[in-house]
Amino acid sequence: MKEMQTKIPLEKIARLVRYNILTMTTSAGSGHPSSSLSAVELMVGLLFGGAFRYDTDHPDHLNNDRLLFSKGHASPLFYSLWAAAGKLSRADLLTYRCFGSPLEGHPTASFRYAEAATGSLGQGLSIGVGLALNAKLDKLTYRTYVLLGDSEMAEGSVWEAMAIAAHYRLDNLVAVVDVNRLGQRGETMHGHDLDAYRRRAEAFAWHTLVIDGHDLAGILTAYRQADQYAGGPVMIIARTIKGKGVSFIEDKNGWHGKTLKKEELDLALAELGKVDEEVRGSIPLPRNLQPERRPAAGAAPLSYAVGTPVATRKAYGNALNRLYPAFPDIVSLDGEVSNSTMAEYFKDEHADRFFEMYIAEQNMAGVALGFAGRGKIPFVSTFAAFMSRAYDQIRMSQYSDANIKFVGSHAGVSIGLDGPSQMGLEDIAFFRTIIDGVVLYPCDAVSTEKLVAEAARHRGIVYLRTTRQETPVLYEPREEFPIGGCKVLRASDADRATLVAAGITVYEALTAHEDLRREGISVRVIDLYCIKPVDEKTLREAAAATGLLITVEDHVPEGGLGEAVRSALWNTGVTVASLAVRKKPKSGKPRELLDYEEISARAIADKVRELSRKS
C-alpha cells in the first residue's frame, strides 16, 4: 500500500492552485478557469496526497505513475499542479497561451509533463488504456490516472475504452470523472445524477467509487481504495461544483471558457483568502524498476522469387514477424480483422505483443498512442476504409509527436465483390494531411517488406496501404526502398509520356506500357511507392523528358496520388492528367471495377493515345 503524505496541508496547496488558475487565465485573457476549479481537490489529493508516485526530475522514468487530463481544457489546473510540485515558476505560468510557450491552451507534447496532447474530448481514456497495457507488458508497477469531464462521457470512444479496459482487466487504471454538471452551453446529459454514471460504469464491469469531489479526506480514501482493488479498472465518480471557490461563478451557466476580468479577479482572490505562494507539495518517488529489454538482432533475409504472386497484405504480416527481432519494441494492434490484414501472422508467433482491439477503431488509435508514449512501436491495422473512423484520434496524435504506424488493407475498388462499404478510397488523402507524416503504397511483396522496415525505422506517423489481391513480385530482394523515393520501371529517350502509379495500378501501367510499345508508342513507368514525401526530383526529370504525366490511382482524385504529383510539378507547365476513382463504385470482380473506374491498362492506353494525338 502506498503511504499517504500529509506533511503540508493539502488545503494550502489547493488554495495556491486556485490562485494560479485564476491569475494565469485572467492574464492570458482566455482559458477555462471554471472547469479547472471544479477538479482542484481531486487532483491535489492525487498528486500530493501520497497515492501518486513520480520522479519530477525525470518525467521519462519508466515506472512513474502516469496522469492524463482527458478534459484538456482544464490545462490551467494541469499546469498549476506542476507549479505546486516545483516544476514551473510563477513567471512560467504567466506565459500561458502565449505564442512559443510550452503552456498551450490544451496540453501538447511541448510540455514535458504531458503524457499526450489532449483537448479533443473523449480520447484520454483510450490513451490511458495504452499506458496501462504497456505497464502490464513490461511488468512495471506504475498506475495510470485519467481525469475525465462529465460532458465527454457522451463520446463513444470513452465507452470503447471502458469496454477494452475491462476486457484486459486493467487494475492499474483509474478514471476520475469530474461531474460538475455544466458543459459548454448548459447542463450535461445526466447533470449531478452520479448514480447514472455509476450504473453505466458498473455495466461495463468497472469498479466504482462515488465521492464528494471537494472533500479531501474522502478523496484520499478513494485513491487508497482504488490502489487496493484488484481484478479490473476503477472509476472514481466525483460530484463537483464548476467554478468552485469563487462564489459568483459557482454552479452558474455561462462561465465555460470565460475568464475573470481584473475587478472580478480581485473579488475572487479576496474570497480565496491568504495564499502562501511559496508552498510546494511533494510527490513520493516510484520504485526503480527496469523492464526486461530484448536486444535487437538481425532480421532474416527476404526469400521471394520474382513473378511469384503474393498479396501485399500477406507480405505485411510476414514482415512484422521477420522484422521483430530487429525492432523488439514492436507491438501489433488490430481491429478484429487480423485474418484479413494478416496481422495474425504476428499474433500466432508473438501473442503477448498482439492486442486485439475489436471493432473499435477510435479506441485502437488512442491505445496505440499510449503505447507509443512509452517507447513502443505500434503497428495498427484494419481495413483502409475503417481508418476514417479514427481520423480525429490520428489527427490529434501528431500533436503528441507520436511514433505510430498505421496499416490499411483492402484498399481501393480492386477488392472487388465486397462492394463500396469495404473499399478504402479516401485514406491517402487524409493521411497526407498529417504534418511530417509518411504515406507508403507498395505494389509487391518485396517493396512491402522493405517499406515495413522503413516504417519501423522512421520516427513519426507512417501510413502503409496494402492490397487484397495477389500481385506478382516485381523486385529482387536486394532492392531498397527509402522513404521519399520511387522506382523508374521503364524508361527510354523516346518516351512520349510518363505513367505514375502505385500499388495495384503499377501493374496496369506496365500492361499499358507493353500494349503501347507494340503500337510504337513509348512511355515511361514510375512506381511512386512513397506518396508523401514525394520524390519531386525524379518526377520533375520525367516531366522535362516526356512533357506529359498521367497518374493512375485506385483512390478518389481529391487528395490522392495525382494531387501529390501536381503539387510537385506546380510550376513546370507540364500537363498532368489523372485517372482515379470518379464513379460511385459497386460490387463486381476486380477487373470489372478497374475498367469501370477507368484506371485499368485499357483506360491508361486510351488516355495516352488521346493526349498524344493532341500534343
Based on the domain organization, do 500 and 530 belong to the same domain? yes
First to last CA, the chain: 80
Based on the domain organization, do 436 and 510 belong to the same domain? no
**pLDDT of amino acid 389:** 96
Sheet holding 330-334, edge to edge: 354-356, 330-334, 377-383, 405-409, 462-465, 438-440, 530-532
Q: Which of 272, 297, 317 is the last residue of a domain?
A: 272
Residue at 259: amino acid letter = T
Please check whether residue 365 lies inside any domain of the structure.
yes
The cell for 22 is 485564476
**Residues spanned by the domain of 451:** 309-472
**pLDDT of amino acid 4:** 43
Based on the domain organization, do 516 and 558 belong to the same domain? yes
Based on the domain organization, do 117 and 220 belong to the same domain? yes
> What gap in Å lies between CA 327 and CA 138, rounded to an integer?
16
The cell for 66 is 502516469
Per DSSP, the residues of 237-282 read EEE--TTTT-TTTTT-TT-TT-PPPHHHHHHHHHHH----TT----
Based on the domain organization, do 211 and 188 belong to the same domain? yes
The cell for 4 is 499517504
Bridge partners of 191, per DSSP, are none
Are 613 and 497 in contact, with CB atoms under 8 Å apart?
A: no
Based on the domain organization, do 157 and 225 belong to the same domain? yes
- CATH for 524: 3.40.50.920
Q: Where are the beta strands (DSSP E) in 110-265?
A: 144-149, 173-179, 207-212, 234-239
> What gap in Å lies between CA 415 and CA 427, rounded to an integer?
15
Please check whether residue 64 lies inside any domain of the structure.
yes
361 among known catalytic residues: yes
Q: 3-state DSSP helix/strand/coil percent for the chain, to nearest 5?
A: 40, 15, 45
> What gap in Å lies between CA 171 and CA 73, rounded to an integer?
27
Q: Which of 472, 504, 520 is the last residue of a domain?
A: 472
Please check whether residue 299 lies inside any domain of the structure.
no
Per DSSP, the residues of 549-593 read EEEE-SS-STTSHHHHHHHHTTTT--EEEEE---S---S--HHHH
- CATH for 420: 3.40.50.970
Are 120 and 149 in contact, with CB atoms under 8 Å apart?
A: no
Based on the domain organization, do 379 and 257 belong to the same domain? no
> What gap in Å lies between CA 400 and CA 501, rounded to an integer?
33
Q: Which of 272, 299, 334 is the last residue of a domain?
A: 272
Q: Which helix (H) or strand (E) element contains residue 312?
A: helix 312-323
* Cis-peptide, bond into residue 533, ω within 30° of zero: yes
Based on the domain organization, do 35 and 180 belong to the same domain? yes
Please check whether residue 298 lies inside any domain of the structure.
no
Are 346 and 353 in contact, with CB atoms under 8 Å apart?
A: yes
Are 309 and 470 in contact, with CB atoms under 8 Å apart?
A: yes
**pLDDT of amino acid 290:** 86
Per-residue DSSP letter, 129: H
Based on the domain organization, do 254 and 318 belong to the same domain? no
Based on the domain organization, do 433 and 378 belong to the same domain? yes
Please check whether residue 3 lies inside any domain of the structure.
no
Question: Number of structural domains, the chain?
Answer: 3
The cell for 105 is 491552451
Q: Which residues of the chain, if any, have pLDDT below 50?
A: 1-6
> What gap in Å lies between CA 609 and CA 577, rounded to an integer?
13
Which one of 104, 160, 361, 454 is the catalytic residue? Answer: 361
Please check whether residue 6 lies inside any domain of the structure.
no
Helix then strand count (H, E) for the chain reads: 22, 19
Based on the domain organization, do 316 and 171 belong to the same domain? no
Instruction: At 305, give phi and psi (nearest 5°).
Output: -95, 135
Please check whether residue 288 lies inside any domain of the structure.
no
The SS3 call for residue 466 is coil
Half-sphere exposure of 459 (CA within 13 A, CB side): 4
The cell for 456 is 519501423
Q: What is the pTM assigned to this prediction?
A: 0.96
Please check whether residue 479 lies inside any domain of the structure.
no
Q: How far is CA 120 from the centre of its chain?
A: 12
Based on the domain organization, do 410 and 515 belong to the same domain? no
